[in-house]
C-alpha cells in the first residue's frame, strides 16, 4: 500500500497525460476552443507539478528525509479527498449534459419546429399565391384594361375600378404604372398619412419586360407586406404595370418570425451540439482543475506547516545520535508539537551538560590512565630489555608476570603464562626453580639468593637465583614473590677458566723448572753410563722413557701456559685467500691434503696468527685421524656478505657420538697423548673473534667449520 | 503563495508550450489546397479574381437552416524580398454576407464593401456569391512598381452567425490562406 502511495503522484501524472491526449482540441481554432486550450494549460501545469512532486517524494523516500513520508501521505490524502468528489461531480455533470442534449435535441422537438416553420411558410405561400391569383384576375379584367388602354385615361373610372378590385381582393393598395414607370393611378386603404410615392423596384422588371407576374416580400418598420407586379396587356401589348400590396397580419408575422428565429437558433445549437457538449465539459473541467490545484496548494502548504517541526525534530535527533549535542530547534508552533520541541531542547541541554561532566571525568581518568600506562610501559620496557629473567608470583602462587628473558633463559613452554599456578609447572628439569620458590615461601627472611645448576636445551646453565617477598605498604597492597634469575654460566666459566689458568701457570712454573734438569740428567746418564751399563737395552729404554716423558710433560706444560697466557687477539682485515694459501703451502708435503683457496677477494676481520693456529690445529687433528687410513683431507672456504667460513673435512674414523658434545671442553681428548686443550683453545679464539667453531658432522666425513666475521664487530670495537 | 511563485516558471513554460501548440495547430490548418488567383491590371487599378473556394457541407447546412454566413476576404499585398522579410504594401478586406429568410426561402446577399445587397432564391447563387471574388478592385496601380515582384495573398475567414464587433471576436478571427500568387507587373 505504501508503495502505491509513493507512486500515486506519478500514476496521477500518467492519468492526466492520458486525459490531455483524449481531450486535446482538434479542428479549426475558434473562440469556443479557447476554453479547451485553457484546460490543456491547466492540465499540463498540474501534470508537471504532480510529476515534480512525485519525483521529489521518490527522492525523499530514497534519502529517508525526515517527515517526507508523512507529508506525502497528508498531501495525497487531502488531494484525494477533493479529487474523488470532484471527479464524481465531473462525471455526473458530463452524464447530465449528455442526457440533457438528448432531451433538448429530441426528434419530436425537431419535427415540431419543422412543422411550425412549414406552417409559417405555408401561410406566406398562401398569401403569395392569393396575391398572384388576384393579380392574374386583375390583369385579365377587361374593364380595367379598357380604362388603362383608352386615351385619354379616365382617372375617375380607373380609380373606381381599382378600388373595386382592391375591395374584392382584400389588398391594402393597388397602383398602375405606365411603361415609363410613372404612376398612373393609386388606390389604397390608408388615408393621406400612408400615401407614399410608389417606385417600381427590380421585382417589377419581369412584369415589365417579360410580361410575367412577380411577387416579393417587403419588410418595413416591423411590418411585412407582399408586393406583386402584373403586366396589363392590350392587344398583346403591355401597356402598364399593376402593383398590388397586401399587408400581412401583424400577429401572424410576429409568430412566423418567432418560429423562424427559434428554428434558426435550434438548428445552430443542433449543429454545434458537439462543441456545446465540449464547452460544457471543458468549463466543468476548468472548475475541477481549479479546485484541485487550489486544494493541492493548500494541502502542500498545510502538510509542510504540519510536518516541518517533525522534520526538524527528526533531523535534530539524527544529529544528536551522531553526537552533536549543540543542536537546538529555535522556532516551534504553539501546540503539542511545540511542546515536544521545547521538551527536546531541554533534553539535549541536559544531555550536553551530562556529557560535558562525563568528558571531564573521562579526561581526568585518561590522564591517570596515561600516567599508569607510562609507568607500565617503562616497567615492561625495562623487563623486556633485562637480560635477567623476572618472575612475579602472587600470594596464591599464580604467575602474575614473567618477561621474555625468563622464557628464553629457561626455554619455558607456553604453559607458563600469567594466571597459571607455578607449582605444577616446576617439575622435571625445572624442579630446582620450584624448590627455590618453596624455600622463598617458607623462609622468614625477606630475600633469598641461590645458585642453581640447570640443564636447558642440553646445556648446563649456572643460574644465580634471587628472590624477594613482596608485602606491606611499599608494594601498594600487592603481596607475592619476585624471582630474578641470571645466567652466570659465562661468568662462572670465566672464573673457572681464570682459576685454571692461574693453577696451570703456577703448576707449569713449579713443574717446568725441575723438568729441564731431569731431562739433562737423563741425557747425561745416557751419555756417560751407557757403556758401563750391564744391560744396555734396559738402560736405553729407561733413559729414553725418562727423556720422552719429560718432553711430553714439557709440551703439556707449554699448552697449559698457552691456555693461561692466551693473548688478546689483534684483528685486522685479512684476505681469506691468504690464509688458505698459507695452509696449502704449509701442508704441500701431504698429497692427500686438498686445499681450495678462495677465488674471490673476500676479507675476514681477524688476528691472522691466531686463525692460522686454529686451522693448523684442525688440519693436524685431521691428519692424525687419517694417518692409518690415508683418507683425503679437504680444506675449502665459502662466504657471504657477513661471514667467511673455513671447512675442514676428513674421511677418518670420526668422533664417537658420546664425545661429540664434549669435544670443545678443556682437558677433553680422544687421543691418548692429547692434552685436551687444542680444540678448547681454538674454540676460545673463535669466540674472542665473535666467530664460531662448529662440529658440523662427527663422522663420514668429520667436518669442522670456522666462521669469522667480514667486518669489525662490536665486541672488537669495545 | 510562495508555492505559486515557485511554480511560476513552470506555469510560464506550460502556457508557452500550449500557445505554441495552438499556433502550430493554426498553421497546420492554414495549409489547405490553394485556389487559383488571377491578378489583372489596367492603367489605374489592380484586380483580383479567385475562387471558387470549396464550401463545406456545414456552411451549406447553416445557409439552409437560416444561419447567416459571412465570408471575410482579406487580400494582403507584400513586396517580395529575397533575403529579408517581405515589405507590406497594403491590405484590403471585403466582407460578404448571406442572411437567409426561412419564411420566404430566400437569401439576402450583401457586399459590405460596396453596400450592394440582393435577394436570391437559390442556395447555388448564394454559394457563388460567397465563394469567389470576380475582378475585385484591390489596389491602386500607382502603389506598385513595374518589374518588382509582389505577392498577393488572400486569407478567408468563414463565420457563421452574426458578426460581432468585439475586440475578442476580431482578435480570434483567424483566416486561412486560400490563394497565393507572386507577380511582377509589366
pLDDT digit string (tens) for A253-306? 888 889 999 998 888 888 888 778 878 888 888 888 888 788 878 887 887 777
Q: Among A187-196, A331-340, A511-520, which stretch is predicted with the lowest mean pLDDT? A: A187-196
Helix (H, G, I), strand (E, B) or coil at A457: coil
Beta pairing class for B106-111 and B87-101: antiparallel
**Contact call for residues A586 and A668 (beta carbons, < 8 A):** no
Contacting A residues, span 225-264, partner chain B, CB-CB under 8 Å: 256-257, 260, 263-264
**Interface with chain A: mutation pick from B11, B68, B103, B156, highest number of A CBs within 10 Å:** B103
Residue with cell 465539459: A281
| Residue-level pLDDT at B22 | 55
Facing B58 at nearest CB: one of A256, A263, A271 = A271
Q: What is the mean pLDDT of residues A434-449?
A: 87
Q: What is the mean pLDDT of residues A601-623?
A: 88
Angle between helices A250-271 and A273-321 (to 10 degrees): 40
Contacting B residues, span 31-60, partner chain A, CB-CB under 8 Å: 58
Spell out which residues of chain B touch residue A263, defining contact as CB-CB under 8 Å: 65-66, 102
**Contact call for residues A602 and A632 (beta carbons, < 8 A):** no
Say if residue A658's pLDDT is above 50: yes
| Residue-level pLDDT at B115 | 83
**Contact call for residues A331 and A345 (beta carbons, < 8 A):** no
Spell out which residues of chain B touch residue A45, defining contact as CB-CB under 8 Å: 7, 10-11, 14-15
Spell out which residues of chain B touch residue A37, defining contact as CB-CB under 8 Å: 18, 22
Q: Give the residue on A whose Cα is nearest the Cα of B120.
A: A216
Question: B25 and A29 in contact by Cβ < 8 A?
Answer: yes
Q: What DSSP character marks residue B54?
A: P
| Residue-level pLDDT at B162 | 81
The confidence band for B77, taking pLDDT boundaries of 50, 70 and 90, is: very high
Kindly report the average pLDDT of chain A as a whole number.
Answer: 83
Stated as kind and residue range, the H or E segment containing A623 is helix A608-625
| Residue-level pLDDT at A636 | 93
| Residue-level pLDDT at A146 | 85
Whether B67 contacts chain A with CB within 8 A: yes
| Residue-level pLDDT at B30 | 47
Residues 6+ apart with CB under 8 A from A204: A177, A181, A214, A229, A241, A243
The confidence band for B29, taking pLDDT boundaries of 50, 70 and 90, is: very low
Q: What is the mean pLDDT of residues A633-639?
A: 92
Q: Give the residue on A whose Cα is nearest the Cα of B3.
A: A297
Rounded Cα distance between A295 and A76, Å, is 11
Say if residue A420's pLDDT is above 50: yes
Say if residue A197's pLDDT is above 90: no
pLDDT in tens, A72-115: 777 778 777 777 888 888 888 888 888 888 888 888 888 888 99
**Contact call for residues A307 and A67 (beta carbons, < 8 A):** yes
Q: What number is the ipTM of this complex?
A: 0.73
Q: Among A148-152, A175-179, B23-27, B60-64, which stretch is predicted with the lowest mean pLDDT? A: B23-27
Question: B172 and A31 in contact by Cβ < 8 A?
Answer: yes
Q: What percent of chain A has pLDDT over 70?
A: 92
Q: What is the mean pLDDT of residues A459-484?
A: 79
> What does the angle CA B43 – CA B45 – CA B46 come to, to the nearest 5 degrees?
110
| Residue-level pLDDT at A563 | 66
**Contact call for residues A308 and A67 (beta carbons, < 8 A):** yes
| Residue-level pLDDT at A192 | 59
> What cell does A25 get?
482540441
Amino acid at each position: 500500500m505504501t508503495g502505491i502511495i509513493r507512486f500515486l503522484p506519478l500514476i496521477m501524472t500518467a492519468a492526466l497525460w492520458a486525459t490531455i491526449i483524449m481531450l486535446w482540441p482538434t479542428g479549426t481554432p475558434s473562440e469556443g476552443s479557447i476554453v479547451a486550450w485553457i484546460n490543456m494549460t491547466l492540465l499540463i501545469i498540474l501534470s508537471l507539478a504532480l510529476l515534480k512532486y512525485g519525483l521529489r517524494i521518490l527522492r525523499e523516500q530514497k534519502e529517508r528525509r525526515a517527515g517526507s513520508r508523512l507529508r506525502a501521505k497528508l498531501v495525497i490524502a487531502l488531494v484525494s479527498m477533493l479529487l474523488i468528489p470532484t471527479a464524481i461531480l465531473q462525471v455526473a455533470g458530463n452524464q447530465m449534459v449528455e442526457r440533457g442534449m438528448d432531451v433538448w435535441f429530441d426528434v419530436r422537438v425537431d419535427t415540431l419546429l419543422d412543422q411550425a416553420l412549414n406552417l409559417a411558410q405555408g401561410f406566406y405561400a398562401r398569401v403569395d399565391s392569393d396575391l398572384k391569383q388576384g393579380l392574374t384576375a386583375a390583369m385579365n379584367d377587361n374593364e380595367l384594361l379598357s380604362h388603362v388602354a383608352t386615351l385619354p385615361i379616365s382617372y375617375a373610372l380607373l380609380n373606381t375600378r381599382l378600388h373595386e378590385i382592391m375591395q374584392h381582393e382584400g389588398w391594402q393598395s393597388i397602383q398602375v404604372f405606365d411603361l415609363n414607370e410613372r404612376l398612373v393611378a393609386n388606390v389604397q386603404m390608408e388615408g393621406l398619412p400612408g400615401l407614399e410615392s410608389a417606385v417600381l423596384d427590380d421585382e417589377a422588371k419581369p412584369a415589365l419586360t417579360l410580361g410575367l407576374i412577380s411577387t416579393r416580400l417587403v419588410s418595413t418598420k416591423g411590418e411585412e407586406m407582399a408586393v406583386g407586379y402584373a403586366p396589363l396587356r392590350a392587344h398583346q401589348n403591355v401597356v402598364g404595370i399593376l402593383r398590388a400590396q397586401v399587408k400581412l397580419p401583424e400577429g401572424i408575422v410576429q409568430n412566423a418570425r418567432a418560429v423562424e428565429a427559434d428554428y434558426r437558433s435550434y438548428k445552430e445549437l443542433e449543429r454545434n451540439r458537439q462543441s456545446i457538449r465540449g464547452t460544457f465539459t471543458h468549463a466543468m473541467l476548468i472548475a475541477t482543475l481549479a479546485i484541485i490545484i487550489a486544494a493541492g496548494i493548500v494541502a502542500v502548504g498545510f502538510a509542510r506547516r504540519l510536518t516541518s517541526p517533525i522534520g526538524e525534530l527528526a533531523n535534530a535527533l539524527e544529529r544528536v545520535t551522531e553526537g552533536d549535542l549543540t543542536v537546538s530547534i529555535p522556532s516551534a508552533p504553539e501546540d503539542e508539537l511545540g511542546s515536544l520541541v521545547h521538551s527536546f531542547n531541554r533534553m539535549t541541554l541536559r544531555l550536553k551538560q551530562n556529557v560535558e561532566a562525563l568528558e571531564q571525568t573521562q579526561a581526568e581518568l585518561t590522564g591517570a590512565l596515561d600516567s599508569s600506562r607510562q609507568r607500565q610501559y617503562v616497567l615492561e620496557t625495562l623487563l623486556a630489555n633485562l637480560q635477567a629473567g623476572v618472575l612475579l608470583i602472587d600470594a596464591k602462587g599464580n604467575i602474575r608476570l614473567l618477561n621474555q628473558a625468563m622464557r628464553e633463559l629457561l626455554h619455558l613452554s607456553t604453559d607458563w603464562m600469567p594466571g597459571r599456578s607455578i607449582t605444577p609447572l616446576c617439575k622435571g628439569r625445572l624442579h630446582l626453580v620450584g624448590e627455590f620458590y618453596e624455600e622463598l615461601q617458607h623462609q622468614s627472611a625477606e630475600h633469598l639468593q641461590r645458585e642453581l645448576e640447570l640443564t636447558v636445551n642440553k646445556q648446563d646453565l649456572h643460574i644465580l637465583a634471587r628472590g624477594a617477598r613482596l608485602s606491606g605498604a611499599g608494594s601498594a597492597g600487592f603481596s607475592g614473590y619476585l624471582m630474578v634469575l641470571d645466567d652466570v654460566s659465562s661468568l662462572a666459566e670465566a672464573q673457572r677458566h681464570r682459576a685454571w689458568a692461574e693453577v696451570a701457570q703456577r703448576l707449569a712454573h713449579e713443574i717446568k723448572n725441575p723438568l729441564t734438569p731431569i731431562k739433562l740428567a737423563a741425557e747425561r746418564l745416557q751419555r756417560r753410563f751407557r757403556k758401563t751399563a750391564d744391560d744396555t737395552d734396559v738402560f736405553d729404554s729407561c733413559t729414553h722413557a725418562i727423556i720422552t716423558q719429560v718432553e711430553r710433560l714439557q709440551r703439556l706444560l707449554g699448552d697449559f701456559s698457552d691456555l693461561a697466557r692466551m693473548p688478546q687477539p689483534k684483528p685486522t682485515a685479512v684476505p681469506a685467500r691468504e690464509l688458505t694459501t698459507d695452509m696449502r703451502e704449509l701442508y704441500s708435503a701431504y698429497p692427500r691434503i686438498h686445499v681450495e683457496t678462495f677465488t674471490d677477494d673476500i676479507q675476514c676481520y681477524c688476528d691472522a696468527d691466531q686463525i692460522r693456529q686454529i686451522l693448523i690445529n684442525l688440519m693436524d687433528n685431521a691428519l692424525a685421524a687419517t694417518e692409518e687410513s690415508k683418507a683425503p683431507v679437504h680444506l675449502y672456504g665459502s662466504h657471504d656478505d657477513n661471514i667467511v667460513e673455513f671447512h675442514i673435512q676428513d674421511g677418518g674414523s670420526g668422533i664417537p657420538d658420546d664425545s661429540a658434545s664434549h669435544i670443545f671442553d678443556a682437558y677433553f681428548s680422544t687421543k691418548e697423548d692429547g692434552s685436551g686443550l687444542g680444540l678448547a683453545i681454538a674454540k676460545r679464539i673463535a669466540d674472542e673473534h665473535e666467530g664460531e667453531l662448529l662440529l658440523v658432522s662427527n663422522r663420514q666425513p668429520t667436518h669442522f667449520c670456522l666462521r669469522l666475521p667480514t667486518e669489525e664487530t662490536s665486541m672488537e670495537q669495545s | 503563495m510562495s508555492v505559486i511563485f515557485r511554480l511560476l516558471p513552470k506555469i510560464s513554460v506550460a502556457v508557452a508550450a500550449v500557445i505554441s501548440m495552438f499556433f502550430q495547430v493554426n498553421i497546420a490548418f492554414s495549409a489547405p489546397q490553394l485556389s487559383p488567383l488571377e491578378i489583372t491590371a489596367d492603367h489605374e487599378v489592380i484586380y483580383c479574381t479567385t475562387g471558387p473556394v470549396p464550401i463545406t457541407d456545414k456552411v451549406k447546412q447553416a445557409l439552409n437552416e437560416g444561419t447567416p454566413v459571412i465570408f471575410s476576404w482579406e487580400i494582403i499585398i507584400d513586396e517580395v524580398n529575397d533575403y529579408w522579410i517581405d515589405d507590406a504594401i497594403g491590405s484590403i478586406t471585403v466582407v460578404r454576407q448571406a442572411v437567409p429568410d426561412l419564411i420566404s426561402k430566400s437569401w439576402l446577399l450583401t457586399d459590405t464593401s460596396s453596400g450592394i445587397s440582393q435577394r436570391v432564391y437559390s442556395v447555388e447563387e448564394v454559394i457563388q456569391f460567397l465563394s469567389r471574388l470576380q475582378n475585385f478592385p484591390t489596389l491602386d496601380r500607382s502603389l506598385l512598381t513595374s518589374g518588382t515582384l509582389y505577392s498577393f495573398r488572400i486569407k478567408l475567414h468563414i463565420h457563421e452567425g452574426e458578426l460581432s464587433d468585439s475586440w475578442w471576436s476580431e482578435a480570434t478571427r483567424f483566416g486561412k490562406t486560400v490563394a497565393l500568387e507572386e507577380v511582377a507587373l509589366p
